[in-house]
């Protein structure tokens, strides 16, 4: 449990120093590898983001500056400080934690609050939990300063525009970009990469006729659809498929490609199946022109386990099983945040998504 102390904004550094002085001799090491700035205008998301920050500092002790938005319109800025323990109760590594609460629509104050408290000469990672499409000059100011900006497309309303915005940001200010949803599909990406690195399966995807991705709808946002979109765009960009069109209906999104003159139809299907795991991608089906059927599906009785089965016209391969450990999820998210540089596969995926109208 973090003990947070309210302080005046002008006393933040001295209060932090005082906190360290107070705990001198108690086997505490003050560590910082980079500055992690986290912003969210949604109070509901703060516990999730705080938890994420704590996972990050387990691997990379950093000064965490969390900025949240008050529900009220006020010019008054509240600030607090704390020491975060790398692993609660066990580690001797501690990091500085600074929290700001700014009034609703007082975003302009944020860079002024943050800039004085960046640890000099350390990388700056910005986790901006707002929709980048609703940009204001403030986020620009911080993005210009940040070495890396991480978004979460769960909060956006338009993935195509989101992709364009991220690409523009990367090009304009030379800041590496990332999306937590990209990290969330890492287990599937890794699995697909492993599968298709095999020549037999590579031939299957190279002659793909249909690709179906099934997902459980997340009631709070379009995140699960976006993850499905990412996954298909990942495969398409890896294979060099040429995008032709998009068509959306009630619970399905159809995206069409061509590959070496042949059509490929991708269908993202919102599953009706009731489930305790909203937001999951639960099945991928690939059918080739040679009628080979590849199925990748989470087991209904144990969603951590994914079964892969390939059925040829003349025979079936025995299914293989893979574990998608949910505990890995936070670690992959953390890794996405502290990784250096824009993942080239992510960039290629974004470039493809940026062309796909009507997402």
Partner 1 sequence: MQKPEHTENQMDNINTNTQTNPFKNANAQGSPDPCIMVIFGASGDLTKKKILPAIYNLKRNAQLPTNFACVGFARRSISDDDFRAQVTDHVNQYSRIKPKDQAEINHFTETCFYHQSEFEDDNGYKSLDLALKEIDKKHGTQGNRIFYLSVQPVFFDKIIARLKKNGLIYDESNEEQRFSRVVIEKPFGHSFDSANDLQHSLVQHLAENQIYRIDHYLGKETVQNLLVFRFSNTIFEGLWNNRYIDHVQITVAEDIGIETRGAFYEEEGLFRDIIQNHLMQLVSLVGMEPPSSLAPNAIRDEKVKLLNAIEPMKESDFENMAIRGQYAEGLINGQKTKAYRQEDKVDPKSNQNTFSAMKFYIENWRWAGVPFYVRAGKRLPKRTTQIAVTFKKVPHILFNEHNEDDTPNTIVFRIQPDEGTSIKFNSKVPGQARIIQPVNMDFQYTTYFGKEIPEAYERLLYDAILGDSTLFARADESLTSWKLFTPLLNYWDSKPITDENLYMSGTWGTKKAEELMKKDGRQWNIL
Helix axis angle, 159-173 to 344-353, nearest 10°: 130
Shortest Cβ distance from residue 33 to partner 1 (Å)?
6
d(CA 144, CA 150): 13
| Identity of the residue, 23 or 220, whose beta carbon is nearer to partner 1 in the bound complex | 23
Give me 218's structure tokens: 């997340």
Give the residue among 109, 103, 114, 32 at the shortest CA–CA distance from 66: 114
Question: Would you give the binding string for partner 1 spanning residues 213-252, x where CB under 8 A is met?
Answer: ----------------------------------------
Q: Which two tokens stand for residue 229?
A: 């979109």
**Residue 339 interacting with partner 1 (CB under 8 A):** yes
- Tell me the closest approach of the beta carbon of residue 115 to partner 1, in angstroms: 4
Residue from the set 1, 120, 199, 325 that interacts with partner 1 by CB under 8 A: 120
Among 28, 122, 170, 322, binds partner 1 (CB under 8 A): 122
Q: Write down the residue that tokens 């309210």 correspond to.
A: 6
* Residue closer to partner 1 (CB basis): 103 or 278: 103
- Give the three-class secondary structure for 21: helix
Q: Is 351 in the site for partner 1 (CB under 8 A)?
A: no
# residues near partner 1 by CB under 8 A: 31
Residue 343 within binding range of partner 1, rule CB under 8 A = yes
Binding mask 172-211 for partner 1 (x = CB under 8 A): ----x-----------------------------------
Render the burial of 276-298: b for 16+ CB within 10 Å, e for the rest. Answer: eeebbbbbbbbbbeeebbbbbbb
Q: Which of these ranges, 120-128, 154-162, 254-262, 309-317, lies near partner 1 under the rule CB under 8 A?
A: 120-128
Stretch (H or E) spanning 102: strand 93-102
Question: At closest approach, how far in Å is the CB of 239 from partner 1?
Answer: 21
Only one of the segments 3-11, 151-159, 256-264, 319-327 lies at the binding site for partner 1 (rule: CB under 8 A); that segment is: 3-11
Sort 79 into a burial class: Cβ within 10 Å, 0-12 / 13-18 / 19+. Answer: buried
- d(CA 340, CA 343) in angstroms, rounded, equals 8
CB of 346 vs partner 1, minimal distance in Å: 9
Which of 89/344 has CB closer to partner 1? 344
Min dist. Cβ of residue 113 to partner 1 (A): 7
Near partner 1 by CB under 8 A: residue from 15, 40, 41, 79: 79
* Cα–Cα distance for residue pair 307/321, rounded to 1 Å: 5
Q: How far apart are CA 148 and CA 154, in angstroms?
A: 19
CB of 140 to partner 1, least distance (A): 12
With binding defined as CB under 8 A, does residue 77 bind partner 1?
A: yes
| CB closer to partner 1 out of 13 and 210 | 13
Mark 139-178 with x for binding to partner 1 (rule: CB under 8 A) and - for no binding: --x---x------------------------------x--
**Cα-Cα-Cα-Cα dihedral sign, residues 155, 158, 159, 160:** negative
86 contacts: CB under 8 Å, gap ≥ 6: 31, 57, 58, 61, 92, 93, 94, 95
Beta-carbon-side half-sphere exposure of residue 224 (alpha carbons within 13 Å): 22
Question: With respect to partner 1, which residue has the nearer C-beta, 31 or 305?
Answer: 31
Binding residue (CB under 8 A) for partner 1 from 113, 161, 269, 303? 113
When the beta carbons of 114 and 306 are compared against partner 1, the nearer one is 114
Closest among 145, 152, 135 to 48, alpha carbons compared: 152
Distance CA 9, CA 80 (A): 8
Residue 23 touching partner 1 (CB under 8 A) = no
Which residues contact partner 1 (rule: CB under 8 A)?
8-10, 33, 35, 59-60, 77, 79, 109, 111-113, 115-116, 118, 120-124, 141, 145, 176, 338-344
């Amino acid at each position: 449990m973090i003990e947070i102390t309210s302080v005046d904004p002008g006393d933040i550094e001295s209060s932090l120093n005082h906190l360290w002085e107070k705990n001198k001799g108690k086997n505490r090491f003050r560590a910082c590898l980079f500055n992690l700035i986290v912003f969210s205008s949604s109070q509901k998301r703060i516990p999730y983001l705080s938890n994420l920050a704590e996972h990050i500092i387990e691997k990379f002790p950093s000064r965490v500056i969390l900025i949240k938005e008050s529900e009220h319109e006020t010019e008054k800025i509240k600030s607090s400080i704390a020491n975060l323990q790398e692993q609660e109760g066990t580690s001797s590594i501690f990091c500085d934690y600074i929290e700001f609460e700014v009034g609703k629509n007082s975003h302009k104050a944020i860079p002024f609050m943050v800039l004085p408290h960046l640890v000099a000469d350390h990388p700056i990672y910005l986790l901006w939990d707002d929709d980048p499409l609703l940009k204001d000059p403030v986020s620009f100011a911080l993005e210009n300063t940040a070495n890396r900006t991480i978004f979460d497309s769960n909060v956006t309303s338009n993935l195509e525009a989101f992709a364009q915005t991220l690409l523009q940001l990367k090009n304009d200010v030379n800041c590496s970009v990332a999306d937590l949803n990209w990290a969330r599909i890492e287990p599937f990406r890794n699995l697909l990469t492993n599968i298709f690195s095999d020549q037999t399966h590579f031939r299957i995807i190279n002659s793909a006729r249909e690709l179906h991705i099934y997902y459980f709808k997340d009631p709070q946002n379009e995140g699960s659809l976006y993850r499905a979109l990412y996954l298909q765009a990942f495969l398409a960009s890896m294979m060099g498929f040429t995008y032709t069109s998009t068509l959306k209906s009630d619970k399905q999104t159809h995206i069409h490609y061509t590959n070496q003159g042949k059509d490929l139809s991708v269908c993202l299907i919102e599953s009706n199946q009731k489930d305790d795991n909203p937001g999951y991608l639960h099945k991928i089906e690939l059918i080739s022109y040679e009628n080979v059927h590849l199925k990748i599906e989470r087991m209904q009785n144990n969603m951590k386990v994914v079964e892969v089965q390939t059925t040829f016209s003349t025979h079936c391969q025995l299914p293989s099983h893979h574990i998608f450990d949910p505990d890995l999820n936070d670690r992959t998210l953390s890794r996405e945040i502290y990784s250096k540089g824009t993942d080239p596969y992510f960039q290629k995926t974004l470039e493809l998504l940026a062309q796909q109208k009507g997402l």
